Amino acid sequence: MAFDIVMMTNNSEKNRMTKDTTTIATLSGVLRSGSSIIDPVITCSGDVSSYVTCNYMEISEFGRYYFINDIVAVSNNLFEIHAHVDVLSSFATEIKTNKAIITRQEKRWNLLLNDGSFRTYQNPIVTTHPFPYSFSAPQFVLAVAGPTVITP
């Protein structure tokens, strides 16, 4: 089964979801027998020197983008492309629409989620503010934050 391969040059980091690519050429290839869709080995014909700068490709038949690990010249006009799937770009739409609760993040975190890595304490926070109106005798104003309904 022959399919089209869009050969590209990737100028972005591997961990970036949307890649900055430049399309070099579109060629036809055949999946080598015993090869997987995750780590395909594809046999192509043509001049291998035109594709040595390519480090990224798309196979629309599989619906995936791939990092090119190696291009091996088999014979005079035959070469193999060894690749590995780029999961972030291949499934970017699904990843962006996914909803999740992130328990740990590099810069912002949620103290209400206890994950064991961030220590929290239940110490009371007491602050004193001057009251804008005076009282005739010393008095205290107590403000408590919490649920409005207390259930036993």
Q: Is the pTM of this model over 0.75?
A: no
In a domain, 114, yes or no: no
pLDDT digits (tens, 9 = 90+) for 118-150: 665 677 777 777 767 777 777 776 766 665 555
pLDDT tens per residue, range 77-125:
889 999 999 999 999 999 999 887 666 677 776 666 666 666 656 777 7
**Residue 115, domain member (yes or no):** no
CB 66 within 8 A of CB 58: yes
**89 lies in a domain?**
yes
Q: Which of 43-52, 63-72, 119-128, 133-142 has the highest mean pLDDT?
A: 63-72
Give pLDDT, residue 147.
Answer: 56
How many domains are contained in the chain?
1
Instruction: Give the residue among 47, 63, 49 at the shortest CA–CA distance from 6.
Output: 63
Is 110 among the domain residues?
no
The SS3 of residue 111 is coil
Determine, yes or no, domain membership for 55. yes
The pair of three-digit structure tokens given for residue 42, joined into one six-digit string: 């594809």
Q: Is the dihedral of CA 132, 136, 139, 143 positive or negative?
A: negative
CATH, residue 33:
2.40.10
> Is 142 contained in some domain?
no
As a whole number of angstroms, the distance between CA 5 and CA 27 comes to 5
For residues 123-135, b (16+ Cβ closer than 10 Å) or e, as one string?
eeeeeeeeeeeee
Give the per-residue pLDDT at 121: 66
Whether residue 63 is contained in a domain is answered as yes
Domain for residue 116, yes or no? Answer: no
Residue 26, domain extent: 2-95
